[in-house]
Each structure stands twice: as C-alpha cells, then as structure tokens.
Amino acid sequence: MSLENILDLSESRKELKQGLSEERLKEQLPALRDLVAFYREYPDYLVDAMLHNDEEFKPGEINPHNPNNFHFYFYQRIFLRVVMRHRYVYATFPRA
C-alpha cells in the first residue's frame, strides 16, 4: 500500500463523525429511549443480545459456534419479565 493510498484513507475517515459529543448523543436520544423501554419490558432479550444468543435453546444441545452456552429456560424468562414489570411479586419455590 502506497503512502498516497494511506493518506487518502485518513482523509476519508475524517469526514465520518467519530467520538462521543453532546450533539451526537442528543440526536440518538429518541432511539436510546425506545431501546431502554424495550429492554425494561424484555430483560431476557438484553442478556441474549449481550451474549449474542441468536438461536432458540434446545435442552441437552451444545452449540459449537456459541462458546458461552448460556441460555434461559422458558420459566426463567417468564419470571425475569414478571419481576422487572411489576413492583411487588409473590412467588412460591417448592423444593421438589
């Protein structure tokens, strides 16, 4: 790669907005509000997004492409959603 090509790349990158500024953050506030509202209703999807779990979990199956192998069971997803949506929750956890 020649020096001219490298300089052209650096000039084209200057045109892109980079960094975090107050103006750029204010432009994104409506989208961020929607995202926070969505993840408050569906906190299990937030965990999936952070872990990049794109597939549905099948018990006993190990995915070689997903190194963490962390998945919620159905009842865990429901419980997490209920706890995040309501102020007071009553639950009974039997041992058996």
Report the pLDDT value the prediction gives residue 72, as an integer from 0 to 100.
Answer: 84
Report the pLDDT value the prediction gives residue 15, as an integer from 0 to 100.
Answer: 56
Report the pLDDT value the prediction gives residue 16, as an integer from 0 to 100.
Answer: 58
- 96 to 59, 65, 76, 89: CA distances (angstroms): 20, 35, 17, 21
pLDDT in tens, the chain (96 residues): 556 665 565 555 555 566 778 888 888 888 989 999 999 999 988 888 887 655 555 555 666 665 666 778 888 899 999 999 999 999 888 886
Report the pLDDT value the prediction gives residue 78, as an integer from 0 to 100.
Answer: 92
Report the pLDDT value the prediction gives residue 80, as an integer from 0 to 100.
Answer: 92
Full-model pTM: 0.58
Question: What DSSP letter does each residue of 20-39 carry, written as one string?
Answer: --HHHHHHHHHHHHHHHHHH
